[in-house]
Chains A and B, each alone.
Chain A
Amino acid sequence: MSYANRPKELKRQLGSALRTRSSDPPFKRNTRKAVSARADRVAEWPDFEERRARATARRQEAIDTLAELHGQLRQHWAKNGITVHEARDDNEARHIALSIVRAAGAKRVLKSKSMLSEEIEINDFLEQHGIEAVETDLGEYVVQLRGEAPSHITMPAMHLSRQNIGRLFAKRLGVEYTDDPPALTQIARRTLRRQFLSAEVGMIGVNFAVAETGHLATVTNEGNGRMVTTLPRVVIALLGWERVTQSLEDLAQLWQLLSRSATGQRATVYLNLTGGPDPEGGCPQQVHVIVIDNGRKRIHADREMREVLRCIRCGACLNACPVYQQVGGYPYGDVYPGPIGAVFTPAREGVRSAPDHPFASSLCGACEEACPVSIPLPKLLLALRKQRTELRSAFDPERGLWRSFRTVMGSRRIYEAATAFARGVQFIWPGGPKKMVIPGWTDHRDPPVFAKRSFREQFDDRNAKPEGPENG
């Protein structure tokens, strides 16, 4: 479950995923269901576009005033007894979390679903230091038992069939095989119940921190987010630096947009607001927030790319993406797959670390259309492609090719001479132009063949000897 193979593998991964996929892979069915559920929720809100525009503007304002909002948050956290930690990168975040768990004298951490915790790859790190990290979201629990990473940001096990999960539970939990989803769910409930009741440290990902009150808001459907913030003595909350919202009113809007966009619910079952440790000394006795940068400030410094920080991680762009629908999440080799990942990851780490990601898109625009905070993903993908291209050397063959193309297309005389030359060459080429091989291009298509005479030549011929009824 490591993302280490990312940088240069993407093209190969996508290709092999396309070749080996079954005719009706689960992620295809599941994205289809998610797209139609979202469409229903959008259709029943007559003012959806207004709400979307408002949320977009408010998210952008929040991103533009993050320093101020973090100042407010810190005042509330100090007053409410929440301990704040700052982590510049994933490594710092992991060490901070480990020291909190050790100080609590715990051997196990119960986790509610958090993509940020995947981003900082904390589970492996804790395990290496003798601490068990238990995923409690059903889908996350399943992929953890399989030793895999989630394949979707809100539906982690969406690439698996019920039979896959039934066999997994039978093998790993020693239960009798069943592929009945309610029975499988009950098995997970019983197993995890015991662990919840004895948990000493809980870990959550924060969907939004509310600057106005200091609340840490966590959205779940299963109730595991409530379990790990209600029962353990110590709560560790992972907060992405940009996941701050101004007020409770903004939270109300974003929560509804998130619910409708992610799962097609009007509201998720639970929205849990953690204010701080229990003032009377009950559980939780300690609440720690780790504010994690890990490249977010780098994105923030880039005016154009900054818009991606509005993201509320609903996954609607994944579901809408024709590439994601065909291959699922794994070929991207990253914690955030699909269109948002293709922008967020290279923007966060620098385009060098994920050079192919901006190209894993047809720029069809379905992602931007589905985004509840109108992130212009195709525009940002293009900007990253430009960055990527500028990294290439001036002698790069592709750059040279495009430079020549510009010269040829920029002058009629050169263009006519070049096409006349090409027309001439193609008829003396051995085997004809169809035998021409351009690697990566002619694998799937024939090279274009020039007509014997150009359009202009044919046009001039026709004008020279006019035809047609009105001249007859």
Chain B
Amino acid sequence: MADSKRALQKVLAAALERVDAQLIVTSAKGVAAALSSLFDSLAAQTVAITNERELVDFGAVKAVVARSATAVVAPPSEKRAAAEAAEWKQRLAGADVGITSALAIAAETGTLLLPPLSPDQRAVSLLPTHHIALLSEDRLVPDIEALFAVWKKSERTDGNAVFVTGPSRTSDIEKELVLGVHGPQSLHVLLIR
């Protein structure tokens, strides 16, 4: 059991590397430290995070508030006036890092499944320059088929969901790979033991 889990993690690490994303495996206690060193390496000033229950439980929200110069905490859902909504988008777009949870990740391709979230929270994995996804290692599944099975068993199977495989990319200019077109330029997966 432990062996197959390790083998799957190795497959995941290779898959993420292929799509120019990074895997960091840490203990629950190490979350704050891992985030802190990531913020350093990304020179992050402003950090946005969704206040999903899991991220609160992992202590990630607390770590972000304590560690970053400016923290933007995205609430589950809030009705906003147009002007306020526009300002909120600007704040997220100005963030260096966005942190979200994930329902699951597929080892074979390194694909994350992001759950249906409020519009404010969905933008956290999209607008900031870098994206960090936090999830517990028991959310690691073998492949995309298994990822869809997780989605089918989840609470809101008709909601908005996003599958993410690596940072935003294009090869539209002479088929040369460039990262970070409209979405994040880098993706870091924090897998928690």
> Which positions in A face B, CB cutoff 8 Å?
26, 29-30, 33-34, 76, 79-80, 136-139, 142, 155-158, 160-162, 165, 181-182, 184-186, 188-189, 192-193, 196-198, 213-215, 221-224, 226-227, 229-231, 248-249, 251-252, 255-256, 263, 265-276, 278, 280-284
Contacts and interface: CB of A to CB of B under 8 A. Distances in A.
Given A162-B174, A215-B158, A275-B158, A223 B145 contact: no
Interface of B: 15, 18-19, 77-80, 85-86, 89-90, 93, 108-109, 111, 116, 118-120, 122-123, 126, 144-145, 147-148, 151-152, 156-176, 178, 180-184
Nearest to A34: B175
A13 to B, nearest CB: 24
A185 B89 contact: no
Nearest to A221: B169
Contact of A138 (B80, B86, B159, B170): B170
Contacts of A255: 144, 163
A325 to B, nearest CB: 14
**By CB atoms of chain B within 10 A, which of A136, A139, A188, A270 has the most?**
A270
Contacts, number: 176
Contact of A271 (B90, B152, B163): B163
Closest 6 CB pairs of A and B: A223-B183, A139-B172, A222-B181, A282-B119, A271-B163, A223-B182
B175 A33 contact: yes
Contacts of B164: 269-270
A148 to B, nearest CB: 14
Contact of A270 (B15, B119, B159, B163): B163
Given A138-B181, A231-B89, A273 B160 contact: yes
Contact of B93 (A197, A265, A268): A197
A282 B78 contact: yes
A158 B77 CA distance: 42
Contacts of A272: 160, 162-163
A31 B159 CA distance: 37
Given A34-B175, A165-B173, A281 B79 contact: yes
A236 B160 CA distance: 15
Contacts of A186: 180
Contact of A221 (B15, B152, B170): B170
A26 B182 contact: no
Contacts of B165: 265-270
Nearest to B108: A266
A227 B140 CA distance: 27
B158 to A, nearest CB: 5
Contact of A137 (B77, B90, B172): B172
A369 B184 CA distance: 36
Contacts of A188: 181
Contacts of A271: 162-163
Residue of B80, B159, B167, B172 with most chain A CB atoms under a 10 A cut-off: B172
B181 A158 contact: no
B161 A197 contact: no
A158 B163 CA distance: 27
Q: Which of B159, B169, B174 has the most CB of A within 10 A?
A: B174
B77 A282 contact: yes
Contact of B162 (A26, A270, A276): A270
A181 B181 contact: no
A198 B148 contact: no
Nearest to B168: A223
Contacts of B118: 278, 280, 282
B167 A269 contact: yes
Contacts of B161: 215, 273, 275
Given A223-B126, A269-B169, A278-B119, A185 B175 contact: no
A248 B173 CA distance: 33
8 contacts: A197-B86, A215-B161, A222-B169, A224-B182, A248-B151, A266-B108, A275-B116, A275-B161
B178 A182 contact: yes
B181 A266 contact: no
Given A33-B175, A266-B108, A269-B167, A223 B181 contact: yes
A273 B147 CA distance: 14
Contact of A189 (B78, B89, B120, B181): B181
A229 B161 CA distance: 11
Nearest to B148: A252
Contacts of A156: 172
Nearest to B106: A267
A282 B80 contact: yes
Given A185-B173, A278-B118, A227 B182 contact: yes
Contact of B171 (A263, A276, A284): A263
B45 to A, nearest CB: 18
Contacts of A29: 174-175
Contact of A198 (B86, B122, B162): B86
A145 to B, nearest CB: 13
A299 to B, nearest CB: 30
